[in-house]
Chains A and B, each alone.
Chain A
Amino acid sequence: MTSLNNVSLAQNIWQQLLWKCRTFSSTFTTVLIVQIIFSVLSSGSGSSGGSYGSLLYNESIYSLDLLFIISIFSAIMLGWLLATQSIRNDNYSVVTTNFTETVSTLLFLVVLSIFTVFSALSSLYITVFTRLLFFDQVMVIKSALFEISTLFIFLIFVLIAGSASYFAKTLFDISKITFLLLTIVIIYSMQTGGISESTFFEFFLVQSMGEMLGKVLLVLTIFWGLTIAIRQRREVIRR
């Protein structure tokens, strides 16, 4: 008889992660291209002009703000997309279970988030370079825009956005009513002033790094745990 395959959980998750990096390789290039386009077009979020003796100068302030929003947005899109039925079905043409499929997708979201941060960073440098090349503008980066802590926070928000969206689509698929109710509750509480974007940032952006990390882990654990729990019970329906 043909020999039995023995696959460990970790092996299978790792193989699927590699497989996903390959099957969704286009998402990496898409993220990069979108970020470059936006950062070139916007040429900085604020600028001021002036003169210094006979030298005219134009000071542009570049920040991660716009790219941050773009990145969050793309993470939400991709999180939703990764949870769709057809992608899950493709996954079932290789060795997989609900658990390893979900965990490897979440790990892929981590990879994607890290990539997003680095591509945001590099797209800024690309912008600087392009302006130098085509518009003959010498750019001087005045201060360190990118501190490690900034990048880390960037990464965390992108990851949370992706995970939340992956969870939302998972919830949407099993119960549209629950999803709808939850959406209404969130919108309602934002309308009535209970919650806004700033509450969200205030919740995470606390002085102590340890506390922030704890909160991040808590939120991720909740999203990931719920996602795994829900997806664990799903059957494979190919249409």
Chain B
Amino acid sequence: MDFNAQSTTPIYIQIAEWLENEILAVRLLPEGKVYSQYQLAEIFNINPATAGKGLTILVENEILFKKRGLGMFVVADAKERILATRRNHNLTKMAQEIVHEAKRLAVSDEELITLIKQIQKEG
């Protein structure tokens, strides 16, 4: 199982990421039922409360929704939402790296922006 108790990423975040990957891989279908916290606990050998927290994050991010008494389900456009968030997140991260590298190389802000604009023109 691609999950690591010793990792510094909290377990419940790893669970949320795993579920997102399952949605991206279409192993969990839009409008389909998701594993319960107890099933997740057994699959990953973790405390059910921890698994529950992983599900809660996805509910908060509107990837999953609760049906009373029936459990958790995948929202219809979950895949798009996940992709959008990840795109955003990855892009921000890369931009951060660019800015830091620019600082290290003593490239001024103006120079950096010019550089980006130039690349956009060429692309």
Direct contact of A and B (CB under 8 A): no
Which residues does A use to contact B, with CB under 8 Å?
A: none
